[in-house]
Amino acid sequence: MDMFVMGLCFTCIGLAVTALAFAAATRQAAAPPAAQPELPAVQAAPAQFFGDVAQPAVPLAMQVPVQLLLERIENHVRLEQAVAESFVAYPTHDLLHSKTTSPLIN
């Protein structure tokens, strides 16, 4: 019987704490709203979902041809595959943590 009364008291205390927390969270601020100064109306810029002229992010003089990029990526993949095959053939700790010779490193 004592355990039941103690459990009932703990339940009532928990319910009261939960009700107080809920009331505090949902209570609206009673402070009057502060007077906001009138802001001048700003005219919105015309909407342009698709721009008239697409400006490249990189100047044309600095852009690299796509074929050159593909060749560099293919060379990087070939080097990484060669390193992986050599590790599979002779796995060592040094070979696992060796630096790559590829120019495309992180």
The pTM assigned to this predicted structure is 0.38
Measured at the CA of 72, the angle between CA 58 and CA 75, to 5 degrees, comes to 165
Q: What is the pLDDT along the chain (106 residues), one digit of tens a residue?
A: 889 999 999 999 999 999 999 998 888 766 666 676 676 666 666 666 666 655 656 566 667 788 988 998 999 889 888 888 888 888 888 877 877 777 766 5
DSSP-based helix, strand, coil % in the chain, nearest 5: 55, 0, 45
